[in-house]
Structure 1
């Protein structure tokens, strides 16, 4: 397995920052009241991950080991500030909807964790790709949570898509049903915890099934090797 294939597997499934590492839970649970806000924060986080991993990898040989964490935080803060200003200029309504959670990307454990654990030890290409895959993995969890909570809570999907993509995106909103009394449990924080628990349980169940299915194949290979050696 190549380095890039392993990065894809780690970021999207085996070491997913949202489902396995359980990092960034504050924005993960607070912003996912709708698919639009979840996608907006996911894209912003992914862009920060790719940018900071790239910069940290480029400067890793010039940073004294004793002060590497403060320097990494400064790099992350600079990138987040640029993205925040761009969103303020071009996506002001979405920027208002996400509120404090855009600048709080600076303190997101995923970003500083990947900078320290991977980018500071690898070349630019793998480091940037690691940031991309971790960002996509985190964004997928965000969007799944946002979609489930929005659908169960208000019966819609992609409401407010124009906040992220412009006025033309109003046609993307899908109203599957119109509940007389919206299910507030799904929209409020307890709903986020319940949906997140279901996602983690589903992933663990899939991993367990895959592991169970692989055991017979491994046993057959082992028996075949023993037979070959004995013969």
Structure 2
């Protein structure tokens, strides 16, 4: 696992179309970027969020997913206008993305279209794909953002439509849970920082040590077996 002091950026994008074959992705473009900073496993409150005018129409199927319209984007900046600030925000970071090949492909395409071309952001960021992490943790199961939120008891009922900044925040919470080991079985929606993780881990360790030292009665053994069954299922 990475050094916890490493600067983490959790990122998501929305696009004019959902075609995942490319580049050039049938000339589709990024229309929203949402990124949130995490340091020492805590959200710092710093973020990068912008809508982008793509200079092409949004496909109707994509608009149904994220709700962004052509009229809404008509007065927004082009990618070239935000490229420098965006690059400076993500460079030298651990870049956390769900299904990273999709977003990274689009980002690389946008940068490659500029006068000062950047061919591959992986040369400037360490990219971590949470979809790959989820598939290792939950092989054979559905591992979309919604499915993972349900699995980890993260409330996302307010997420009627996809949105880059909201999805980045949800993904950040999921990433902390998926990479925190034993603590992920504690479905406390208020867990947000390392101190709480350490406290919970210590409590679990004490509980297991307690069970090893003191002989349990029949009722306690039954409860313990039910608890182990619960852990196995989760």
TM-score normalised to structure 2 length: 0.25
Which structure: greater strand fraction? Answer: 2
Which structure: greater helix fraction? Answer: 1
By relative contact order (CA 8 Å, sep 6+), the higher-ranking structure is 1
TM-score normalised to structure 1 length: 0.25
